[in-house]
A = this chain, B = another copy of it.
Amino acid sequence: MQIVSFTPNQIIQDRLAETLGSALVVAGDEASVFKALPAADGFIIAVQDYSDQIGRAVAATERLKWVQLLSAGFDRVQKHGVPQGTIVTNAGDALSPSVATHAVSLALAVQRGFPAMAQAQARGEWARDMQPRMTTPAEATCLIVGFGSIGREVARLMRAFGAHIVGVSRSGAASSLADEIITPAQLPDYLPKADTIVLAVPLDDSTRGLISQKELSLCKKSVVIVNIARGAVIDTNALADALEAGTIGGAGLDVTDPEPLTPGHRLWKAPNLLISPHVAAACGPLLYKRIADVACANAGRFMRGEALQNVVIG
């Protein structure tokens, strides 16, 4: 049994060595990957390292049964495909705790007026004028669009701050983490009630432009909108219009459309907006520890011939 791993991350590398022992083949560069792949039963790699060349090499393998991604996304693997019978697994929920913490951090930062305060600080001004607009999540409604592992963790955290949680899910299935669960069709009835809206849905045809001019016009003037999903879930120009006109309270965006946001884009200067550059998952060594937990659990299952978890292809 040979499992090839290709990651520069020492925390993950060390954990894989502990779990796989002599079955582990560490590839230090792409050339080593190409050399090792034909004899490999499994292949462990982060999607950002999954180059076109590696994609073609994987698609050409005959022995490979399993690809473990050290990330949530798998678009580059889909692009080249994998041989019939090869299972692709991803990092599952390993990124959810930090992404959810980041979403709540963005919501709180905008509610507490930090974008305007940071600007006043840059000017060296003790400016208390934003005080009447400051809010907290307590006794207010937090609408969480997408109630997967990230959405549910956002719900748990916002509830600790005293928020009333409305989760939006396609199934509409009840959850102990939400006070109410609604379906996407009910959004127009619930947008006017929301004090915070957190977007945590995958991007697809049904969620592209989910928050556009019409939806924004239904929101409270004080609403804070957070996007940690994909930029295109919000209509960028409609959001910039609303921020500039002050018809919403503010926004926190970890993702934008376009992304990266282009130099000179109007969104850079929109008021009451905090932009983080698609870094929601980052949390230092803790993130790699969580990813290693998921990858090593699957490595153990693979070695024992058990069913793999977090299957995304196959």
Contacts and interface: CB of A to CB of B under 8 A. Distances in A.
Nearest to A132: B284
Contacts of A143: none
How many identical chains are in the complex?
A: 2
B124 A263 contact: yes
A261 B117 CA distance: 13
Given A101-B136, A134-B284, A136-B97, A114 B263 contact: no
A293 to B, nearest CB: 12
A128 interface: yes
A31 interface: no
A138 interface: yes
A114 B124 contact: no
Nearest to A111: B105
A78 interface: no
A132 B286 CA distance: 11
A138 B286 contact: yes
Nearest to A278: B128
Contacts of A133: 284
A156 interface: yes
A128 B279 contact: yes
Given A261-B126, A275-B121, A286 B114 contact: no
Contacts of A109: 105, 108-109, 114
A70 to B, nearest CB: 16
Nearest to A126: B260
B286 A136 contact: yes
A101 B138 contact: yes
Contacts of A132: 282, 284
A147 B273 CA distance: 34
Nearest to A284: B135
A257 interface: no
A1 interface: no
A112 B102 contact: yes
5 contacts: A101-B108, A101-B112, A105-B114, A135-B286, A138-B283
Nearest 7 A/B pairs, CB to CB: A126-B260, A160-B160, A118-B118, A105-B108, A134-B282, A124-B268, A136-B283
